[in-house]
């Protein structure tokens, strides 16, 4: 009988050791993080602030270690301030908020204040991540889209100047209680919204680079839309080709494009005059430095023209 007992003991020890080893192994953890990005308004005047409230949450089952919320601001949004209900935020182009450990069921709120710098739709995306594995990545990013408007208010334009991308539509929103118009005042006769009342809107696509004066023909107030050309690439060695684009479409019948260039240390001079093409290749030969390009739309018969656009620059190394 004793011999049988001694034979059972080693087997029991082996079972105990196996159980100890099993329970001693690290247990896999996971944390299902989510984020929701909500703007204070979906329609904002150019030049005004818009606040994005970014809500991050951990749906568990385990704590999320080293949790961070990031938001790389898109073109058209300028940084004003950032704060978080827990942790700290840093950065202006790319805002990073370090939340630390976010427990299961816990949440945090990031408040990001930005300034709208251009008309048209602007999409801002906030993301959340941590050092803990996340089994569901589908809810780790949230995009909020707003529209920047050139607002017309009673007895004034606000703001008077607004930037726009080449080929983009610029929307106006009529917020004043008096009737208004938005009419091209360059003499080229490109657009006229007609009389608009409170709450109405109007948009026009600026296909060509230039600085466009517009006017309210009812009240006589004016403003400008600034559309620069585009350049590609923006940096390159001397002797390499750069593409300069000043329109996304052929000019209206009877109109032409004028394009100027400024070499390092120089002033703007004519480069492409009276053109109907929309782009050209430029090969820098005046040494390293910054080269700039600007363009306008002109009617050679009536002599009406936009002012020259804001410049677009390349850096020659």
Total domains in the fold of the chain: 3
This prediction has a pTM of: 0.76
Question: Are residues 124 and 179 located together in one domain of the fold?
Answer: no
Give the C-alpha separation, 105 to 32, whole Å.
10
Question: Are residues 223 and 236 located together in one domain of the fold?
Answer: no
Is there a domain that residue 4 lies in? no
Q: What is the CATH number of the domain that holds 193?
A: 2.60.40.420
Is there a domain that residue 20 lies in? no
Kindly tell me the burial class for residue 20, based on how many C-beta atoms sit within 10 Å of its own C-beta (0-12, 13-18, 19 or more). Answer: exposed
Question: Are residues 119 and 216 located together in one domain of the fold?
Answer: no
The tens digit of pLDDT for each residue in 266-302 reads: 999 999 999 999 999 999 999 999 999 999 999 999 9
Question: Are residues 79 and 186 located together in one domain of the fold?
Answer: no
Q: Which two tokens stand for residue 207?
A: 């296909």
Domain boundary among 183, 199, 227: 227
Question: Are residues 124 and 84 located together in one domain of the fold?
Answer: yes
Is there a domain that residue 17 lies in? no
Share of the chain above pLDDT 90, in %: 74
Give the C-alpha separation, 126 to 55, whole Å.
9
Question: Are residues 42 and 116 located together in one domain of the fold?
Answer: yes
Task: Output the CA–CA distances (angstroms, integers) from residue 252 to 24, 63, 144, 190, 256, in the order listed.
Answer: 77, 62, 36, 9, 8
CA proximity to 216, closest of 234, 196, 198, 233: 196
Report which DSSP code applies to 155: T
Question: Are residues 40 and 118 located together in one domain of the fold?
Answer: yes
Residue indicated by tokens 């990013």? 141
Answer left, alpha or beta for residue 47, where phi above 0 means left and psi between -120 and 50 means alpha: left
What pLDDT was estimated at residue 4? 47
| Choice between 45 and 185, residue whose per-residue pLDDT is larger | 185
Residue indicated by tokens 């099993």? 22
Domain boundary among 202, 227, 252: 227
Query: Over 60: is that where the pLDDT of 15 sits?
Result: no
Terminal Cα distance for the chain, rounded: 94
Is there a domain that residue 67 lies in? yes
Give the C-alpha separation, 232 to 247, whole Å.
14
Q: Please, which pLDDT band fits residue 219 given cuts at 50, 70 and 90?
A: confident
Q: Which domain holds residue 159?
A: 149-227
| Choice between 161 and 246, residue whose per-residue pLDDT is larger | 246
Domain boundary among 179, 200, 227: 227
Contact 171, 190 (CB under 8 A): no
Is there a domain that residue 293 lies in? yes
What pLDDT was estimated at residue 118? 87
Is there a domain that residue 60 lies in? yes
Question: Are residues 167 and 242 located together in one domain of the fold?
Answer: no
Phi and psi, residue 312, nearest 5° = -115, 135
Give the C-alpha separation, 52 to 46, whole Å.
16
Question: Are residues 141 and 46 located together in one domain of the fold?
Answer: yes
Q: Which two tokens stand for residue 5?
A: 């007992």
Is there a domain that residue 54 lies in? yes
Share of the chain above pLDDT 70, in %: 91
Q: What is the CATH number of the domain that holds 62?
A: 2.60.40.1510
The tens digit of pLDDT for each residue in 181-212 reads: 999 999 999 999 999 988 888 999 999 999 99
Is there a domain that residue 178 lies in? yes
Q: Which two tokens stand for residue 253?
A: 């019948």
Sequential DSSP letters for 9-74: HHHHHHHHHHHHHHHHSPPP--EEEEEEEEES-SEEETTSEEEEEEEEEEEEES-EEEEEEEEEPP
What's the average model confidence in pLDDT over 93-103?
97
Question: Are residues 134 and 45 located together in one domain of the fold?
Answer: yes
Look at strands 169-174 and 141-153 and give their pairing.
Answer: parallel
> Average pLDDT, whole number, for the chain?
90
Q: What is the CATH number of the domain that holds 240?
A: 2.60.40.10
């Amino acid at each position: 009988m004793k011999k049988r007992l001694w034979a059972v003991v080693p087997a029991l020890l082996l079972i105990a050791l196996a159980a100890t080893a099993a329970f001693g192994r690290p247990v896999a953890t996971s944390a299902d993080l989510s984020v929701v990005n909500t703007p204070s308004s979906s329609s904002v005047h150019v030049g005004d602030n818009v606040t994005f409230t970014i809500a991050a949450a951990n749906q568990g089952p385990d704590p999320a270690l080293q949790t961070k919320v990031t938001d790389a601001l898109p073109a058209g949004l300028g940084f004003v301030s950032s704060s978080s209900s827990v942790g700290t935020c840093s950065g202006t182009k790319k805002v990073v908020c370090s939340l630390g450990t976010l427990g299961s069921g816990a949440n945090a709120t990031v408040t990001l204040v930005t300034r709208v710098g251009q008309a048209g739709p602007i999409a801002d995306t906030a993301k959340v991540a941590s050092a803990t594995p996340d089994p569901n990545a589908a809810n780790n990013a949230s995009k909020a889209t707003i529209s920047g408007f050139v607002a017309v208010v009673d007895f004034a334009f606000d703001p008077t100047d607004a930037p726009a991308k080449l080929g983009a539509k610029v929307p106006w929103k009529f917020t004043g209680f008096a009737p208004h118009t938005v009419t091209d005042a360059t003499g080229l006769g490109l657009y006229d919204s007609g009389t608009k009342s409170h709450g109405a809107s109007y948009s026009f696509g600026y296909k060509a680079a230039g600085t466009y004066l517009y006017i309210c023909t009812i009240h006589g107030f004016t403003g400008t839309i600034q559309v620069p050309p585009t350049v590609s690439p923006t940096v390159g060695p001397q002797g390499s080709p750069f593409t300069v684009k000043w329109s996304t479409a052929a000019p209206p019948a009877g109109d032409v494009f004028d394009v100027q260039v400024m070499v390092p240390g120089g002033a703007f001079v004519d480069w492409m005059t009276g053109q109907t093409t929309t782009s050209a290749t430029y090969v820098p030969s005046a040494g390293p430095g910054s080269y700039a390009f600007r363009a306008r739309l002109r009617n050679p018969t009536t002599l009406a023209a936009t002012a020259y656009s804001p410049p677009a620059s390349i850096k020659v190394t």
